[in-house]
Amino acid sequence: MKARRGDLAFSLYCWLVYAFLLAPIVIVVLASFNSGAFLTFPPKGFSFRWYVVFFDNEVFRRAIVTSLWVAAIATVISGCIGTAAAIYHVCYAGRTKEAVRLTMLAPLLLPEVLTAIALLFFVYSVGIGTRGMVGLVVGHVLLTLPFVFMNVSASLESFDPDWDLAARSLGAGRVMRFRRIMLPMIKPGVIGGCLFAFIISFDTFTMSFLLKSVGTSTLPIQLFDYLKTNFTPEAAAVSSFSVGLTMVVVVFTEKVLGLKIRRF
């Protein structure tokens, strides 16, 4: 009986934590269907009015496209660099293993605003601060790279170098060994790390706010500018769309891309 009560108490505790974490999202989604003119909760009536207004807003549509492009480019670059760095860290670093790990995780050790300010000085000193989205992408790569590195490194902890030696003795080349032995092992880490990278890049505000060029605005920045002068349910509709888009990306990547990688 005591064990059963303990299980029930633990289950209740978990559900309370989930409710605490999901309550803000649920409130924002419900507020987006408000038929009133102001952002209030509980909503006054049910309407898709503000979603129509949101999708008719050219400024928000451009911001969504910009956020998607930046997040996609940053995810690809972080995925390639982070995966290569994780393989080197686990398999080849030797005595420099700890130094490599600390170097890759350095962006997480400082507050994001300090990293963004330092990077702002750097991109303008080398002349890339005004070249479209280059500085913005560099900042997002720096911010998301540690998450790919950590996930892939965790997937490689169970890798045995003898497997690579056995495949080499059987005549398998470097590409074949990577495709048949290492890639299936790091697949969960690559997928998980890229998902983290995309979501963090799409939603980050501080790095985007300091590194964006003139005329460029991501969705979080555009939403922040909107809320400074407006307080309508359109803001909740934009936030709900962002949450829904993130969930679609997560499900699509896991179901589609994950199945493709399994074929290896």
Q: Peptide bond preceding 42: is omega within 30 degrees of 0, i.e. cis?
A: yes
Q: What is the pLDDT at residue 74?
A: 92
Residue 32 lies in a domain: no
- CA–CA distance, 84 with 72 (Å, rounded to integer): 18
Residue 253 lies in a domain: yes
Q: What is the pLDDT at residue 257?
A: 57
Which CATH number goes with the domain that contains 89? 1.10.3720.10
The pTM of this model reads 0.80
Tokens of 69: 């492009």
Residue 179 lies in a domain: yes
Residue 235 lies in a domain: yes
* Domain extent for 92: 58-262
* Count of structural domains, the chain: 1
Handedness of CA 102, 104, 105, 106 (dihedral sign): positive
Q: pLDDT means per 10 residues in the chain (264 residues)?
A: 72 88 83 77 78 84 88 91 87 81 84 84 74 80 90 80 72 73 79 86 86 80 82 82 81 62 42
Q: What is the pLDDT at residue 38?
A: 75
- CA–CA distance, 164 with 247 (Å, rounded to integer): 37
Residue 94 lies in a domain: yes
- CA–CA distance, 200 with 108 (Å, rounded to integer): 13
Q: What is the pLDDT at residue 77?
A: 93
Residue 42 lies in a domain: no
- CA–CA distance, 31 with 41 (Å, rounded to integer): 6
